[in-house]
Chain A
Amino acid sequence: MKHSFYLADEQATTELAAKLAALCSTATVIYLEGDLGAGKTSFCRGFIHGLGYVGRVKSPTYTLVEPYEIKNWRIFHFDLYRLSDPEELEFIGIRDYFEDDCICLIEWPDKGHGLLAAADLHISIEFIDHSRSLTVQANNEYGQQLLSDLAQK
């Protein structure tokens, strides 16, 4: 199941992300793909703020992962751009991040191929001049439920 959304500007990106965040009801893994500057981190910022976090959502490019605790959730915002080998994930204890109370937002998931939990939703963002096209692929039943609810809203 696949659905595309037209996003006129950054605000549209963060609003869609916040809607998706509100729909998550269990442990969730979301992959995000798109070129530099496409808006992956903006999407994650909208998602994390949408769950009620009020502080800064900084880029995790340098640290690889930024943790957040919101209500009963632990949110992990990954950016695997700087990985040169998926094996490096073992050195940061990647296996401990995919627990029942965790939502994992993972930018550049192909850099961690083989060591990441499977995605419920796979998002790709493309440039259309100054706006964006965001496509969501649902990979399982839970993902399909999320996507159909998101598309209806």
Chain B
Amino acid sequence: MRPNLTRNTTSTMRVIGIETSCDETGIAVYDEQQGLLSHQLYSQVKLHADYGGVVPELASRDHVRKIVPLIKQALVDANCTQSDIDGIAFTKGPGLVGALLVGSSVARSLAFAWGVPAVGVHHMEGHLLAPVLDEPAPEFPFVALLVSGGHSMMVRVDGIGQYEILGESVDDAAGEAFDKTAKLLGLDYPGGPLLAKMAEKGEAGHYKFPRPMTDRPGLDFSFSGLKTFAANTIRGSDQSEQSKANIAYAFQEAVIDTLAIKCKRALKQTGLKRLVIAGGVSANKQLRVEFALMMKKLQGTVFYPRLEFCTDNGAMIAYAGLQRLKAGESEGLSTKAQPRWSLDELPAI
């Protein structure tokens, strides 16, 4: 959808979203009626010559130097200017305090300068609502599984701000287990996707990994043991390429199986039929195959955000922030970052 150049009226709201909770600097412009107008991630962007010509490679988490050029570029791409913006949403937490403070300071200052409200968004709420950015959007209520390098979490979502954490990882995140096992198999870090590729050459039945925490009730996860199991298995193998592929296969099978068992349990426990899977691990092909089969059997539906919104991004923050601004929420001038913040503390709107 192309944005038009007419000035916003008060009936429709246009919001900038700013995400700086960890590694990525993500900026987006979202319009209540027209949807997503632009989104930028530093790692993908080729900044225009107007903003400094050739852009040097900046270090991870150097949000300070990335954020302003990205905001300018996001406005240009959305065909609008600061006067079209009705509010600013930023990731307030959880995350790395130094990284969060850059986003919250810039957001709150810009909002003050432009005379618009600013609102702090919970990073995980952004992820939970990301599938709503595309069609077909899942209707509430649904069960969401967030699986990435930083998170493994099962949440019941009844509406915006109505979240019940059903389970989460007690140690490593699922994506982290993928990345670290990949490293143990001699792949570059973070090598989750490379491990999945290696697993395609693997054969079933050579190795049997445990399915952690599936033999007891509850929806918590633990993936640290799988990584240690992989380390021991690799050291005990002949370390040939075929053995490594077989280990990759068995590892991936164990992670997917564990996630599937827990999701099935969560759907049964809640009586819901809609499942959302978000986070970088949801891009795993084999996972999507297994979950399609499972959901068919359960006569339910599985939804995924578009791939670029599975990982950290500004669009999900803009969308969640817009909903909260419309509900009348805003942050005072003294707003701070909130590095530790549980999803179930959020108010419903």
Q: Mark A residues whose CB is within 8 Å of B.
A: 35-37, 39, 41-42, 45, 56-59, 61-65, 67, 81-85, 87-88, 91-93, 127, 129-130
Q: Hey, which chain A residues are within 8 Å of B231, CB to CB?
A: 35-37, 127
C-alpha spacing A65/B61, complex, angstroms: 13
Q: Hey, which chain B residues are within 8 Å of A63, CB to CB?
A: 22, 95-96, 150
C-alpha spacing A82/B98, complex, angstroms: 16
B43-67 residues with Cβ-Cβ distance < 8 A to A are: 59-64
Asked whether B227 lies within 8 Å of A127 as measured between CB atoms, the reply is no
Asked whether B59 lies within 8 Å of A59 as measured between CB atoms, the reply is no
- Say which residue of A37, A45, A58 sits within 8 Å of B228 (CB atoms): A37
Asked whether A61 lies within 8 Å of B61 as measured between CB atoms, the reply is no
Q: Hey, which chain A residues are within 8 Å of B61, CB to CB?
A: 88, 91-92
Interface core residue of A58, A62, A65, A127 (most chain B CB under 10 Å): A62
C-alpha spacing A132/B22, complex, angstroms: 33
- Say which residue of A45, A58, A65, A87 sits within 8 Å of B59 (CB atoms): A87
Asked whether A62 lies within 8 Å of B59 as measured between CB atoms, the reply is no
C-alpha spacing A139/B176, complex, angstroms: 32
Chain B interface extent, by class: 35 or more
Asked whether A59 lies within 8 Å of B224 as measured between CB atoms, the reply is yes
B272-330 residues with Cβ-Cβ distance < 8 A to A are: none
Asked whether A61 lies within 8 Å of B183 as measured between CB atoms, the reply is no
CB distance from A107 to the nearest CB of B (A): 12
CB distance from B20 to the nearest CB of A (A): 10
Asked whether B173 lies within 8 Å of A59 as measured between CB atoms, the reply is yes
Asked whether B172 lies within 8 Å of A84 as measured between CB atoms, the reply is no
Asked whether A93 lies within 8 Å of B168 as measured between CB atoms, the reply is no
Known interface pairs A67-B339, A84-B60, A130-B232; A62-B99 also in contact (CB < 8 Å):
no
26 contacts between A and B (CB under 8 A): A35-B231, A37-B184, A37-B227, A37-B231, A41-B172, A56-B171, A58-B169, A59-B171, A59-B172, A61-B149, A62-B22, A62-B149, A62-B176, A63-B96, A63-B150, A64-B96, A67-B339, A82-B60, A83-B60, A85-B59, A91-B61, A91-B64, A92-B61, A92-B97, A93-B97, A93-B98
C-alpha spacing A60/B322, complex, angstroms: 31
Q: Ordered nearest first, which 4 A-B pairs have the shortest CB separation?
A: A62-B150, A37-B231, A92-B98, A93-B98
Q: Hey, which chain B residues are within 8 Å of A84, CB to CB?
A: 59-60
C-alpha spacing A83/B22, complex, angstroms: 12
CB distance from B179 to the nearest CB of A (A): 8
Asked whether A92 lies within 8 Å of B99 as measured between CB atoms, the reply is yes
Q: Hey, which chain A residues are within 8 Å of B64, CB to CB?
A: 91
**Closest residue of B by beta carbon distance from A42:** B224
Asked whether B176 lies within 8 Å of A59 as measured between CB atoms, the reply is yes
C-alpha spacing A84/B189, complex, angstroms: 11
Asked whether B62 lies within 8 Å of A91 as measured between CB atoms, the reply is yes
- Say which residue of A36, A62, A67, A129 sits within 8 Å of B173 (CB atoms): A62
B76 on the A face (CB < 8 A): no
Asked whether B96 lies within 8 Å of A65 as measured between CB atoms, the reply is yes
- Say which residue of A45, A58, A91 sits within 8 Å of B99 (CB atoms): A91
C-alpha spacing A126/B150, complex, angstroms: 26
CB distance from B282 to the nearest CB of A (A): 16
Known interface pairs A63-B150, A130-B232; A91-B59 also in contact (CB < 8 Å):
yes
B235 on the A face (CB < 8 A): yes
**Closest residue of A by beta carbon distance from B339:** A67
CB distance from A12 to the nearest CB of B (A): 14
Q: Hey, which chain A residues are within 8 Å of B168, CB to CB?
A: 56
B167-215 residues with Cβ-Cβ distance < 8 A to A are: 168-173, 176, 180, 183-184, 189-190
B268 on the A face (CB < 8 A): no
Q: Hey, which chain A residues are within 8 Å of B232, CB to CB?
A: 37, 129-130
**Closest residue of B by beta carbon distance from A62:** B150
C-alpha spacing A35/B62, complex, angstroms: 28
CB distance from B250 to the nearest CB of A (A): 16
Asked whether A36 lies within 8 Å of B97 as measured between CB atoms, the reply is no
Q: Hey, which chain A residues are within 8 Å of B170, CB to CB?
A: 56, 58
Asked whether A37 lies within 8 Å of B230 as measured between CB atoms, the reply is yes
C-alpha spacing A62/B179, complex, angstroms: 11
C-alpha spacing A61/B192, complex, angstroms: 14
C-alpha spacing A92/B22, complex, angstroms: 9
C-alpha spacing A65/B172, complex, angstroms: 14
